[in-house]
Amino acid sequence: MRKIDIEHIQAGSKLARPIYNANGQMLLSQGTVMKAEFLERLKRMGYTSAYIYDGLIDDVTVDEVIAEETRQQAVQCIREIMDNVHRGKTMKVSLAKKAVSDIINDLISNREMMLNLSDIRSYDDYTFNHSVNVTVISLMIGISMHYTQNRLQDLGLGVILHDIGKLKIPPEIINKPDKLTAHEYEMVQNHTWHGYEALRNSPEIKITSAHVALQHHEHFDGSGYPRRLKGKGILEFARVSAIADVYDALSNDRCYRKKLPAYKVYEFLLENAGKQFDSSILDRFIQKIALYPQGTKVKLSDGRSGLVLKQNNMNPSRPMVRLFWLDDMELPKPEEVNLLLQPSLEIVEVIE
């Protein structure tokens, strides 16, 4: 299976993984033959990609750090909590605690797996799925930093609710495709204070967890917001979530820009080590990034190209690749190469 942009999926292709809506209901099941009207409807709903059987790597399944059931339940948890808060009802912190606990259990079971967030989401689902992904990434970092179970739970609770303050911001500003005015940008920045107040006023949430909502946009060099905190003056939980927040934001399509490939996000993180991000925490995270996720089309230094099959945990830059082409010609038969065992070969290009 391979994740492909909706724009490039042909009618008649077969769906390799189900597509769910924001309520967790299945829109299309695995094995569905994609009709032109299905593709058009998905585009209108804001979906930008789907997993398709393409006849090249149909035998490959995408590695997941958390189970689909865990993801869907966590998304529904965030949705229900935000709906309740929006209506002025009590925040159901117990739901968030259960979701965080389930994510922790899945991650500990798959602690050797590389990060390859492969959820399919529409623009309208962004906030809910983003909150779950940022939680997954933050907890992966926390596990690598040898956090205790209780500390992981406190980190996860703050992160999964880190964007709850956006409920106070008009959705037309949050989803504005054009550049924000100075006043609109100030309103968006205030979501950190709104979120902090919402979490601080809940007796079930520790103050360190509440500060994730307040500080996740602070930068290590003091250039962030809302208080321009610097270095270790930023709570460690917030320094962890800042990395996770940016990684997921850049890795997914938004209404105002296209996603970046994983290796470009990786480069951005490295360029901002010690500036936007705490270098010591970032070092922990980048060891877990799949630079070339399964299904990525790559070209090697000898002119051959193909699709990434599997990650090598020992060196994320040297995955296993199934080769199909030499320049513009098909090879007589596919060849598989483990770049970890072929030091003379390297990836020279990602083919979009």
pLDDT recorded at residue 255: 65
| This model's pTM is above 0.75 | yes
pLDDT recorded at residue 119: 56
As a dihedral over the C-alpha atoms of residue 131, residue 135, residue 138, residue 143, rounded to 10 degrees, the angle is -170
pLDDT in tens, 128-145: 889 999 999 999 999 999
The architecture CATH gives domain 2-53: Alpha-Beta Complex (3.90)
pLDDT recorded at residue 185: 94
Cα radius of gyration (the chain): 21
- Which residue in this structure is represented by tokens 């002119």? 303
Q: At the top level of CATH, which class does the domain 68-286 belong to?
A: mainly alpha
pLDDT recorded at residue 300: 97
Measure CA of the first residue to CA of the last residue in the chain; give whole Å: 17
pLDDT recorded at residue 120: 56
Partners of 301 in beta bridges? none
pLDDT recorded at residue 340: 95
The secondary structure of 179-222 as a DSSP string is PPPHHHHHHHHTHHHHHHHHHHT-TTS-HHHHHHHHHTT--TTS
Query: H or E stretch including 331?
Result: strand 329-338
- What is the distance between the alpha carbons of residues 153 and 212, in angstroms, rounded to a whole number? 13
Q: How far is CA 104 from the centre of its chain?
A: 16
pLDDT recorded at residue 152: 98
Q: 3-state class of 224 per DSSP?
A: coil
pLDDT recorded at residue 49: 86
pLDDT recorded at residue 24: 74
pLDDT recorded at residue 169: 93
Partners of 298 in beta bridges? 306, 350
pLDDT in tens, 295-311: 899 999 999 999 999 98
Alpha helices (H) along 8-121: 36-44, 68-86, 93-109
pLDDT in tens, 56-67: 999 988 777 888
Averaged pLDDT in 10-residue chunks for the chain of 352 residues: 88 92 83 95 87 90 84 91 90 95 94 68 70 95 96 98 94 87 95 96 95 98 97 98 95 77 92 97 90 91 95 89 93 96 94 83
Domain ranges of the chain: 2-53, 68-286, 297-350
